[in-house]
Amino acid sequence: MAEQAEAIGRGSQDYMGSINMDRVYDYMLYLITEYSKLLDFKPIEPSSAVEVCAESLLCYADETQRQFLERSASSPSPTPPCTLQPPDNKFIKSWLEEKSKIIKDVQNFV
């Protein structure tokens, strides 16, 4: 019984390892596309509909709401999301030397 459970576990791990996210996304797109073919909803614009833009929204706002809306408006930042410092070559070299020393110590211990 335990051997069968282990075999099932190994099989599922192998299957999970073979799944590619591109295949998952393709399958999701396929499902959504096929499901959308079953829908018969056709959107119709009501006669009372009014087009709204940011400026018209500000017209209906009181002073407090207007300030909040103007502050919350966002635009892309001219700077990149983060800037990294240049690599510290001396630190990297010492870290790699320490790593190789530890590996050698472990190999000598075994």
Provide the phi-psi class of 76: left if phi over 0, else alpha when psi is between -120 and 50, else beta.
beta
Number of domains present in the structure of the chain? 1
This prediction's pTM: 0.27
30 CB burial (10 A radius; 0-12, 13-18, 19+): exposed
Give residue 101's pLDDT.
94
Q: Which of 82, 59, 84, 80 is nearest to 69 (CA)?
A: 59
Residue 35 lies in a domain: yes
Tokens of 55: 């400026």
**Helix, coil or strand: residue 72:** helix
28-78 residue pLDDT tens = 888 898 998 888 888 888 888 877 776 777 777 888 888 888 787 677 667
In a domain, 108, yes or no: no
Domain of residue 15: give its range: 6-40
For residue 101, tell me if it sits in a domain: no
Q: Is residue 89 domain-resident?
A: no
Is the pLDDT at 79 greater than 80, yes or no?
no
